[in-house]
Structure 1
């Protein structure tokens, strides 16, 4: 299997295109063969099958990672075409921290069949292997059951063919991203955005952030399925390990957004994280807050705080306990909801490690690219940092054959425009 730990650091390309990062397995000769880098995608060259995730039709293990990557010309535009069934081949060594996280779940007594996980420190767990969870009823016994906590369905094969433009185009209009796929990782796993599709009291305002409300709904690799589609909303330590991303240099390439721009891991340099320029509102501040200091207003435009605020349905108090779809309880602290955030353009203006409104920036080696964002506290604990992978809008134009879509009548510049 072709394993990728390539960051693009060896490329002098400054145009943010995919030409140097594709596998050409077709007869297409429009690209110079010397420019094709086979190490970027994690290709299943041996036909390896998942041991624990079965094809729902054949009962045979699903092929892991990426099945094929080709370059195709569609209406005089070149695309990288990625085929994947969406099942990774993660292996996780159970550490004391992982075990403590499992046993420390607030509903551990009911989340696990026997009231506690069945793994011990040092166990090596492959993707889909039973760790003791009382999984969703759609999870077949011995094939996915026990790997996912109660709530999410277990993934099966998710046949997809993804078209990525070799040369992404900066968008000339505002293009909001939404639920379902917004990109693909180099191992074929789907990327989803910040949302879980729910809001406080189902009123539309105060939209829930997936990494917050779904904290107890993801597996030990930080992923889960929507229907059959396994995906990540935020940084995955399992993918980082596959790619050899230990924070000692600029992170390697983790995937691509639907617009074709690359997504790199969280590190900008040795020990230095890329920093999101989205910040939490101070509700007592006259500029971004509300008159009562509570969640009683939202920003007219989270990209332009000069436009002020507008009244919306009251959100929860900052100490209110709210319940997620999976029945877990959370304190709705500031930062739990989408409306708690805004883009601080003054941070982006600082340059360097600070990212733009799309959660990306440009450098001389990689051109324009997104970063997965997170924070690390003094104890080494990792927390996802909003907007987690790509911003709430795409930086690039979505092609007609893109894996995602957007709709907006508002004009606005893309990166470098």
Structure 2
């Protein structure tokens, strides 16, 4: 007879109740950020969790990406290290990879917020230097520029090394001028701030957005197969609008119209597609005239002639907006000349917004290379009221916590002919003990160790498939391995404090414990964005720091009194207006 195996599981469901809360990439939040320091390390597959170069020093490991999502009536806040969970690096200044890029990235300890209700003004605001939004993995998104422009008086571009400031009229295109310095995921750093200027292809691979990855070479490539699904949300702009990948519905109002690559509203001024070819840079395109309030340039404002050193595409002003060329944007079932407007958005239905939204897309060329304007346009479509803040100064509800606060998830055991394999998703640097029981009362240790290499744990119960009914659980020690906690909403637990799962967990009197509660399925669970109004243990112990990382999961922290009643105790989880779950004997106090 096949034995019955039960494990304590956290069941996560995919919901789209509020994409501003649910679209963040949290899968790898429990693992350290990693990079390749140089091509030799990349070839050997040697990833570093500590490093130092220029402005970027990471002397202790830190957790990748978003570590917390919280919200109020007006804002969504994230905490992030600004470091990706895909492998970063290496970076060079030249295509032959002989000159190192001057800086490594490091933990930026950022709190970023976006408005919950985007406002679409008639007058648009230009993007500034620095982050124009945040990718869903917490990494900065920059606009199309590289921060430098042509200096007419000197007859050269301003650069990071020549001390010139630039005229701000002919602005260098980041992809064209800095692309050589991007890592395979299409990012590099300003100071220690890791950021994307173009479609974040490494993140797109993680999100399943039509990208293939060769781990042996650390290279990403657009899939050769025909795209079959709409791109996911890759980022959120400072105006609160989503930024999607390159694929959207052919008819922006019809989710059943098929999927195709979105066509940018911008085109090189090369004489094709209705443009007038330029060989000298003496007239700005109409869109740039509007932004810069310059309809006619003087000779002291001219840019360089188009030549090998200043090829067409060197500056963002080398592009025309198709709407200024009497071309038509696609708004219905008939595919027109282009899809995305002057700010790189369109109004459309998406999987997350079936009723429609204004949304940015990250256009690419047919060969998969980035296409101008890459992320947002040179202006925001909405009011960019979001951005980085130094602290959260209002009352917020925490909807998810990760990084050092991540919830351990025990997966369903894999039963072989004789052995049982137990796997879980935990926290890198956490010290775990795997235990087994036949009766949920007496537990024996099976294995113990610290997660290293990533946030996935595994152990094998040799011969376990031949045992009588078998239960498994994991526990994590209160203290994590030393890490850079700057910017995390995290306090190191003192000895005796820790975590537990309910039902089935055990805690000790006189300790503070964070309990992960798996809700019953009856009555039906409320929407995932509804946070409980209260959680109590043993009738009188009230939970704090209540969050709900998934529809079937609630997390609460309890201070267990030294004189608390021992034995199996009830947990009561209350939602407003309903339901209330009473979980009999869910947690044992020793």
TM-score range, shorter chain: 0.5 to 0.7
**Does residue 1:167 correspond to 2:117, yes or no?**
yes
Aligned residue runs from structure 1 range 10-409, under 5 A:
20-23=18-21, 38=22, 40-43=23-26, 47-51=30-34, 52-54=48-50, 59-73=59-73, 78-91=74-87, 107-108=95-96, 111-112=97-98, 135=100, 150-151=101-102, 153-200=103-150, 201=156, 202=158, 203-204=166-167, 205-246=169-210, 247-269=227-249, 272-282=260-270, 293-299=279-285, 301-302=287-288, 309-312=296-299, 313-321=301-309, 332-345=310-323, 346-351=326-331, 354-364=339-349, 365=354, 366-376=356-366, 381-399=367-385, 402-403=387-388
Decide which structure has the larger Cα Rg and report it. Answer: 2
Structure 1 229/299 Cα, relative in aligned 2: closer, same or farther at 3 Å? same
Q: What are the Cα deviations for residues 131-178 of structure 1, in whole angstroms up to 9, with x where unaligned?
A: xxx53xxxxxxxxxxxxxx34x11010111111111111023220002
Given that 2:120 and 2:381 are in contact with CA atoms closer than 8 Å, whether structure 1 keeps it comes out as yes
Residue 278 to residue 107, structure 1, CA distance change in 2 (3 Å): closer
8 Å Cα contact 1:280/1:340 also seen in 2: yes
Whole-angstrom CA distance in 1 between matches of 2:87 and 2:139: 15
More strand by share: 2
Conserved? CA contact 1:252–1:264, under 8 Å: yes
Give the conservation status (yes or no) of the 8 Å contact 2:246–2:262: yes
Q: Is the 8 A contact 1:208 1:336 kept in 2?
A: yes
Using the alignment, how far apart are the partners of 1:239 and 1:45 within structure 2? 12
Query: Are the equivalent residues in 1 in contact too, given 2:275–2:320 (CA < 8 A)?
Result: no
> Structure 1 53/391 Cα, relative in aligned 2: closer, same or farther at 3 Å?
farther
- TM-score normalized by structure 1? 0.65
In 2, Cα distance between equivalents of 1:249 and 1:285: 29
Cα distance, 1:225 vs. partner?
0.7
Shift of 1:349: 3.3
TM-score using structure 2 length? 0.47
Contact 1:218 1:224 in 2 (8 A): yes
Q: Deviations over 1:361-410 (max 9, x none)?
A: 1113241110011102xxxx3221111111100011122x5349xxxxxx
Structure 2 CA distance for aligned equivalents of residues 198 and 69 of structure 1: 34
Q: In 2, are the aligned partners of 1:300 and 1:310 still within 8 Å (CA)?
A: no
- Does the 8 Å CA contact 1:193/1:233 hold for their aligned counterparts? yes
SS of aligned partner of 1:370: strand
* CA distance in structure 1 between the aligned counterparts of 2:173 and 2:13, rounded to whole angstroms: 30
Give the SS at the match of 1:238: helix
In 1: Cα distance, 2:13 partner to 2:135 partner: 13
How far did residue 338 of structure 1 move?
1.4
**Aligned-pair Cα RMSD in Å:** 3.6
Bigger relative CO (Cα 8 Å, ≥ 6 apart):
1
1:128 alignment partner in structure 2: none
Residue 216 of structure 1 aligns to a residue whose secondary structure is: helix
In structure 2, how many angstroms separate the alpha carbons of the residues matched to 1:308 and 1:285? Answer: 23
2 CA distance for matches of 1:254 and 1:320? 35
C-alpha distance in 2, partners of 1:5/1:218? 35
Determine helix, strand or coil for the equivalent of 2:369. Answer: strand
Identify if the C-alpha distance between structure 1 residues 286 and 211 changes in structure 2 by more than 3 Å, giving closer, same or farther: closer
- The answer to whether the Cα contact below 8 Å between 1:266 and 1:372 also exists between their aligned partners in 2 is yes
1:215 match: secondary structure: helix
**Structure 1 residue 283: Cα displacement:** 7.0
